[in-house]
Amino acid sequence: MAEDVVAGFDVPSFDRSAMDGFAVRSTDTASASRRSPVRLSIGGESRAGHQTSGVLAPWEAIRISTGAAIPAGADAVVRVEDTIDSGGILTVSAPVGAGANIRDAGEDLIRGQLALSKGTVVDAGALGVLASIGQKAAPCVRRPRVGLLTTGDELTEVGAVLSPGSVYDINSWTLSALLTEAGAELVTSGPIGDDPQALRAAITTIEHVDLLVVCGGVSVGAHDHVKDALARTGFVQRFWRVAMRPGSPTWFGVRDGEDEGRRALAFGLPGNPSAAMITAMLFVLPALAALEGMTDPPTRLRARFDAAYAKRPGVVQAVCCRLHSRDDGWHALPTGHGHGISRLVGVDALALIEADRADISRGELVTVQLVGRPRRAAPR
């Protein structure tokens, strides 16, 4: 959402029945019991979409269906199960209090109330709120345009025959899915070989993007040309290398300028597919969320680590985990060891083991960051 949306009327706009039964005056049923039931005359019917125009008289009942408007004069609905309908006479065998089985007008939203706040992701629930206040359209943030490049002479398009020493271009698939799920309008190109001129040409070709992501080629090897290519195409480095594993060679820069179409953010991510995914979750997705107008930081919580983990102090270790809720709180179970992409399957969170910590014993508390698209709920 690009703006706040306020309810123009109460939702629902009238008091309605929560179940099938009979609308009554609660005082008329006060003495009702199975041994001494109360008898009321049935004076009509209120159906969903067909409201009765009459006013409920003393010792009268109106047949009513779920969702139908409460007739004037009634203040309760007695369940069908607690009545006997005898051809115009209703026998009530249990009392009902005022307000029983009634959904009040404005129970969901009241006129003038904030219905959806700026920065809320428009999902199925938000669409339902918009529909409930009769709003067919709402101002939303433009989807950020994101360019994705994968680099490396060893990369082969998925489905082609692998030659000796080559690997499939996994990052094009994984990051495309991750960025699209996060709301990006994606532009891809690649894979690009380890050729400085080809890389600069590919970056130049992907124009008018808000954010550029380049995978591979950001370390210190003789064939790592990404940093230089980004600099030559106008990006200014803001940081390079982070004290984290995996993902230490992560690069970030910006390109300014009077031409709005040239202004952009850029990330250089490791080429290893699992490291690329993890750094994208930790760095790229929050930046993308900010471009979409979401200001809340990613959700972090404390969880018990359900495994022993060997770690040297000095850098933060990001560990892929699945979360489980137990009586003593959240538990984080690592999804696997090593550097393969399979550990990203079904991951719920990344455990971020602090730089100053060494080996982790089973059951120790760690900080975990939930993965996936950041969301901002509308305040109520």
Lowest model confidence (mean pLDDT) among 14-18, 60-64, 257-261: 257-261
Q: Counting every residue, how long is the chain?
A: 380
User: Could you tell me which residues come within 8 angstroms of residue 170 by beta carbon, excluding any fewer than 6 positions away?
Assistant: 158, 273, 341
* pLDDT score for 373: 60
Q: Is the pLDDT of residue 380 over 60?
A: no
Q: What are 317-341's pLDDT values in tens digits? A: 999 999 999 999 999 999 977 678 8
* pLDDT score for 260: 66
Three-state secondary-structure class, residue 325 = strand
Q: Is the pLDDT of residue 377 over 50?
A: no
Q: What are 227-256's pLDDT values in tens digits? A: 999 999 999 999 999 999 999 999 999 998
Lowest model confidence (mean pLDDT) among 26-40, 116-130, 254-268, 365-379: 365-379
* pLDDT score for 208: 87
* pLDDT score for 296: 80
* pLDDT score for 41: 94
Three-state secondary-structure class, residue 122 = coil
Q: Is the pLDDT of residue 374 over 70?
A: no
Q: What structural domains does the chain harbor?
A: 19-100 (2.170.190.11), 145-291 (3.40.980.10), 300-370 (2.40.340.10)
* pLDDT score for 52: 83
Burial 87-103 (b: 16+ CB within 10 A, else e): eeebebbebbeeebbbb
Q: Is the pLDDT of residue 27 over 50?
A: yes
* pLDDT score for 107: 93
| Average pLDDT of the segment spanning 355-379 | 80
H-helix or E-strand spanning residue 174: helix 170-181
Q: Is the pLDDT of residue 265 over 50?
A: yes
Q: What are 170-201's pLDDT values in tens digits? A: 999 999 999 999 999 999 877 898 889 999 99
Q: Is the pLDDT of residue 82 over 90?
A: no
**Confidence band for 375, pLDDT divided at 50, 70 and 90:** low
**Better pLDDT: 138 or 379:** 138
Which pTM was predicted? 0.79
User: Could you tell me which residues come within 8 angstroms of residue 244 by beta carbon, excluding any fewer than 6 positions away?
Assistant: 250, 282, 315, 316, 317, 318
- Write the CA distances from 298 to 92, 268, 375, integer angstroms: 55, 21, 8
CA 58 to centroid of chain Cα atoms: 51
Burial 18-41 (b: 16+ CB within 10 A, else e): ebbbbbbbbebbeebeeeebbebe
Distance CA 367, CA 295 (A): 21
Mean pLDDT of the chain: 90
**Better pLDDT: 106 or 52:** 106
**Residue 149's CB: how many other CB atoms inside 10 A?**
26
* pLDDT score for 379: 36
